[in-house]
Amino acid sequence: MRRYLGLVRVQVKAALLLALQYRLDFCLEVVMALLWSGTALVPLYVLFSIRDGVQGWTAEEMLVVVGFFTLLKGVLATVIQPSLAQAVEHIRKGTLDFLLLKPADAQFLLSTSKLELAHLADVLAGIGIIVWALTHLPGRLTAFGFLLALALLGCALMILYAIWILVVSLAFRVVKIDNMNYLIVSLFEAARWPASIFRGALAILFTFVIPLALLTTYPALALLGKAAFTHLVTAVIVAFGLLATSRLAWTRALRSYAGASS
Amino acid sequence: MLKERAVIEVDRLVKHYHVHERPPGVAAAVRSLFSRPTRVVKAVDEISFKIEPGERVGFLGPNGAGKTTTLKMLSGLLFPTAGSARVAGHVPFERKPEFLRSIMLVAGQKQQLLWDLPPAETFELNRAIYDLDRKAFRATLDELVAVLQLDGLLEKPVRQLSLGERMKCELAAALLHRPRVMFLDEPTIGLDVTMQAAVRDFIRRHNERHAATIILTSHYMDDVAALCPRVIAIDRGRLVWDGSLSDLVRETRPEKQISLKLATPVEPAELELAGARVLSHAGLEIKLQVSQAELPAAVSALLSRLRVVDLTVEEAPLEEVLSDLFARQAT
Amino acid sequence: MTHAALPPPAAGSRLRDISLYRALRAFPGLLRVGFAGAVAYRAEFLVWVLAYTMPLIMLGLWTAVAADGPVGRFGEREFSGYFAATLLVRLSSGAWVIWDLNWEVRQGTLQRRLLWPIHALLTYLAENLAALPMRLAIALPIALLTTLWLGPAIWASDPIQLAIVPLSLFGAFLLTFLPMAIIGTLSLWWESSVALYDLWLALYTVFSGYVVPLELFPPGLGRIVAWLPFRQMLAFPVENMIGLVSRERALHDLGIQWAYVALFALLAHLMWRAGIKRFAAFGG
């Protein structure tokens, strides 16, 4: 365990050095990350200058969902996306072999192979949005709600990670998969609204095909005092189920792995 | 009759780069937030030469000597810092279309073929880009396919071809527009021995048939020895040799090497000969170095004194000649 | 020793000195090869197309809003038509030159293009245009589906406005391509210029009508936004397509759109020239 923590420290330090070296780029990336989070708020701003609520959600309540969305997007962009891109490169060039020769779990190494620290700004921004929204919703937050939200957030992170591993396992078979990264992010955009907003065919697509509702709506419901223990149970089941499936897919894929021909 | 003008004329060409220094480590990285030192790298430092049409010239030099930089300046990809160059009657860095039509550049390490498509598509692309008349294009292509033995390769995606096959297709693609000047930057790198010979052969025959001028850089001495009667040696941006290869050998390392195979082992003392130096003595196999003048005497002495099974006389390996040449420049 | 005869200069050789003429002659060949490349990458292309989810997500939001009552003149049907048209415009005006350009500069493979006697930006244009048939192959079924779902009355009825549609789409494509080319050219100075494109994209997302119809903006902001190029990249073609603007307004916007095209084309050409000079001075 200690060794893995040490490995993480090394990766973080490497990312930090890189950020310092390309300092102008780093500042720009932070600014851009915040700008993008800002654009997510524009349609809501326009909307709530005309209306008071949508489908039973008020502006402040929707902001809590957007806050979680921004936070998770930040995690995606900091840890998952860069590593995914790196993994795909390795598989495509056949240099995954070097990784597999190292005396550490390959899945772990691949997961932490690259970090984009600039997007931590998104994580902070997301937290900021949630805090701001909650200050305008006095009395809604309870200790239970807070703990529930944390647990649901943890499940959301596990689900994202599991999806990531599944995609990488897929990459072993379908080599040119770089834009899968882009696809995941695009689909994840659906998590920016409370799940109940989507009706009809879209609702089915976004709720059952990909469990996006769980990711942002559930933690928001928890903070707003509208979630129950059953939400947590569902989330945990889905999270662990996906994690197990992804680990299985990973080991399968690794076994059938053959390096690219020269 | 008017004497044909040199196809390449280079006069005191200079190329300087400004490079930022980037030391490793966190502290240095933080310091670099406040001040960044730069230094000047003299990649090419006043080089002059002339090349006549139809010549085959080899550029030699250690890594980072300035060979590729010079090549890039001659093909118009880089501006010189000072000095002038004329290639095929044009100033390269003006990049006039007529100039671009008369040159080609093939780099062994940088691929120009479209990766996921068959070579035939790249050929089509070049036909469109160089605006080649269809009949002439077909004729040239057929000739290249025959000479380079590309049959069966044209319809396979490039990523499925071997390195050697890819190189042959690269050459074909670059010759479709019949350039007068060919710049070849390490064309045989990574190829197996047979393929290297095939590529060399092709280049030489192309030069003989079409009088295309050839500038070649390579680290493989066999390339240079086989292809380039004239070599230009560049070291640290300066021209250190411009002349024939044999003259280079004669002036730098005129000594010959004698390789002996003996029937019975001998004591080192027995190998003492006037003007001879023992390079290696491993059991029955011996290598000696002898000056040109002492050679006949040394050979007859060895043959009469020792029981010799086999004796070969050859020049010093080209690699050693060049190391000598460049080491000499360092002093 | 035989000397190969250089092909004699073609009759129109003076014409060949004109860059645009050379490019036009090369275009058919370039487009053909570009199309072959697009077909070779068809699997990736499909994934890219599937990733156009944003219009659907916005559609989800705004129709939910309209379910409680129309917003301005947008009811559920109007919002659906708007975002379906948005998807169509996005599909037919996509380009990717900035990533290619940035990649080639960083890998050093730009030198291949620089050795061609054709303006490099025009070769990129051909490559990006060559993917159009495949994009249309996806867009047309979607247009059909939209017609079936919302009824043919959703489209503009004025014949002039319908005639403008292809022009406006081509203009939108050029307004996507040219800023990409301009920002990509910045890679010749600054390796990470792609980040600037992110900025452009963010402004586009907000001011082009991608996430909310521009009509719904507060009036003061709306007036400024009407003159920005972003409107011409998306909102104008969309509004024209579904008849949200009058014919006079459509023609007026068409003029502005192509004025921007001319402006960006000039800017791209000048920047490229300067960029190549700088690139050649500092090493490729």
Q: Please tell me the distance in Å from C199's CA to the nearest CA on chain B.
A: 24
- Does the residue A90 lie in any domain? yes
Higher pLDDT, B256 or A110: B256
Q: Residue B238 has which token pair?
A: 């300066």
Q: Do A20 and B22 touch (CB under 8 A)?
A: no
Q: Do C29 and B69 touch (CB under 8 A)?
A: no
**Which chain A residues are closer than 8 Å to B33 by Cβ?**
20, 23
Q: What are all long-range contacts of A233-240, with beta carbons under 8 Å and residues at least 24 apart?
A: A235/A151, A235/A152, A235/A155, A235/A156, A236/A151, A236/A155, A238/A155, A238/A159, A238/A211, A238/A214, A239/A155, A239/A156, A239/A158, A239/A159, A239/A162, A240/A158
Nearest by CB: B22 against A13, A16, A21? A21
Lowest mean pLDDT among A146-150, B132-136, C220-224: C220-224
**Which chain C residues are closer than 8 Å to B85 by Cβ?**
none
CA atoms of A113 and A10, how far apart (whole Å): 10
- Does the residue A260 lie in any domain? no
Q: Do A39 and C206 touch (CB under 8 A)?
A: yes
User: How confident is the model over A47-65, as a mean pLDDT?
Assistant: 87
CA atoms of A53 and A62, how far apart (whole Å): 9
* Under 8 Å between Cβ of A66 and A129: yes
SS (H, E, C) chain B: CCCCCCCEEEEEEEEEEEEECCCCCHHHHHHCCCCCCEEEEEEEEEEEEEECCCCEEEEECCCCCCHHHHHHHHCCCCCCCEEEEEECCECHHHCCHHHHHCEEEEECCECCCCCCCCHHHHHHHHHHHCCCCHHHHHHHHHHHHHHHCCCCCCCCCHHHCCHHHHHHHHHHHHHCCCCCEEEEECCCCCCCHHHHHHHHHHHHHHHHHHCCEEEEECCCHHHHHHHCCEEEEEECCEEEEEEEHHHHHHHHCCCEEEEEEECCCCCHHHHCCCCEEEEEEECCEEEEEECCCCHHHHHHHHHHHCCEEEEEEEECCHHHHHHHHHHHHHC
**Which chain C residues are closer than 8 Å to A204 by Cβ?**
none
Q: Do B125 and C4 touch (CB under 8 A)?
A: no
Q: What is the pLDDT of residues B161-171, one digit of tens each?
A: 988 999 999 99
Q: What is the pLDDT of residues C235-257, one digit of tens each?
A: 999 999 999 999 999 999 999 99
- Does the residue A206 lie in any domain? yes
Q: Do C284 and B72 touch (CB under 8 A)?
A: yes
pLDDT at A117 over 70: yes
**Which chain C residues are closer than 8 Å to A176 by Cβ?**
41, 43-44
- Does the residue A138 lie in any domain? yes
pLDDT at B103 over 60: yes
- pLDDT for C273 equals 92
CA triplet C94, C96, C100: central angle to 5 degrees? 170
Closest residue of C to A186, CA-based? Answer: C51
Average pLDDT, chain C: 87
- pLDDT for C203 equals 92
Written as one string, the DSSP assignment of A41-92 is: HHHHHHHHHH-SEETTEEHHHHHHHHHHHHHHHHHIIIIIHHHHHHHHHHHH
**Which chain A residues are closer than 8 Å to C59 by Cβ?**
202
- pLDDT for A259 equals 43
- pLDDT for A70 equals 94
pLDDT at A206 over 70: no
CA atoms of C193 and C182, how far apart (whole Å): 10
- pLDDT for B24 equals 57
Q: Please tell me the distance in Å from C181's CA to the nearest CA on chain A.
A: 20
Average pLDDT, chain A: 81
Q: What is the pLDDT of residues C55-99, one digit of tens each?
A: 888 888 898 888 888 888 898 899 999 999 999 999 999 888 998
CA atoms of A82 and A79, how far apart (whole Å): 6
Is B33's Cβ below 8 Å from some Cβ in A?
yes
pLDDT at C284 over 60: no
- pLDDT for B31 equals 63
- pLDDT for C22 equals 85
Closest residue of B to C2, CA-based? Answer: B209
- pLDDT for B143 equals 93
User: Is the alpha carbon torsion for B148, B151, B156, B161 positive or negative?
Assistant: negative
pLDDT at C180 over 90: yes
Q: What is the pLDDT of residues B245-277, one digit of tens each?
A: 888 888 887 888 888 888 888 887 777 776 678
Residue holding tokens 């800023």? Answer: C179
Residue of B26, B115, B158 for testing the chain A interface, max A β-carbons within 10 Å: B26
Q: Residue B101 has which token pair?
A: 């039509």
State the Rg of chain C over Cα.
Answer: 21
Burial of residue A6 (number of CB atoms within 10 Å: 0-12, 13-18, 19+): exposed
- Does the residue A262 lie in any domain? no
- Does the residue A39 lie in any domain? yes
Q: Do B30 and A20 touch (CB under 8 A)?
A: yes
- 10 Å Cβ neighbour count for A106? 16
- pLDDT for A175 equals 59
Closest residue of C to B157, CA-based? Answer: C40
**Which chain C residues are closer than 8 Å to A54 by Cβ?**
61, 64-65, 68
Q: Do C198 and A55 touch (CB under 8 A)?
A: no
Closest C-alpha among B235, B238, B233 to residue B249: B233
Q: What percent of chain C has pLDDT over 90?
A: 46
Residue of B56, B131, B155 for testing the chain C interface, max C β-carbons within 10 Å: B131
Q: Do A17 and B29 touch (CB under 8 A)?
A: yes
Q: Do A21 and B33 touch (CB under 8 A)?
A: no
Is B28's Cβ below 8 Å from some Cβ in A?
no
Is B181's Cβ below 8 Å from some Cβ in C?
no
* Under 8 Å between Cβ of C234 and C260: no
CA atoms of C233 and C207, how far apart (whole Å): 10
pLDDT at B145 over 70: yes
Burial of residue B331 (number of CB atoms within 10 Å: 0-12, 13-18, 19+): exposed
* Under 8 Å between Cβ of A160 and A77: no
State the Rg of chain A over Cα.
Answer: 19
Which residues of chain A approach chain B closer than 8 Å at the C-beta? Answer: 13, 16-17, 20-21, 23
Q: Do A189 and C53 touch (CB under 8 A)?
A: yes
CA atoms of C200 and C179, how far apart (whole Å): 8
Residue holding tokens 């479709």? Answer: B176
- Does the residue A261 lie in any domain? no
CA atoms of C34 and C203, how far apart (whole Å): 30
Closest residue of C to A58, CA-based? Answer: C65
Nearest by CB: C57 against A22, A42, A189? A189
Lowest mean pLDDT among B23-32, B209-218, B277-286: B23-32
- The model's confidence at residue A103, banded by pLDDT at 50, 70 and 90, is low
Closest residue of C to A48, CA-based? Answer: C65
In sequence order, what are the beta bridge partners of A99?
none
- Does the residue A235 lie in any domain? yes
Amino acid at C182: I
Q: What percent of chain A has pLDDT over 70?
A: 83
**Which chain B residues are closer than 8 Å to C117 by Cβ?**
97-98, 100-101, 129-130
Q: Provide the pairing of β-strand B256-262 with B238-244.
A: unpaired
**Which chain B residues are closer than 8 Å to A117 by Cβ?**
none
Q: What is the pLDDT of residues B170-188, one digit of tens each?
A: 999 999 999 999 999 999 9
Q: What percent of chain B has pLDDT over 70?
A: 92
DSSP A207: I
* Domain with A7 in it: 2-255
Residue of A20, A26, A92, A93 for testing the chain B interface, max B β-carbons within 10 Å: A20
How many domains would you assign to chain A?
A: 1
- The model's confidence at residue B1, banded by pLDDT at 50, 70 and 90, is very low
- pLDDT for C283 equals 60
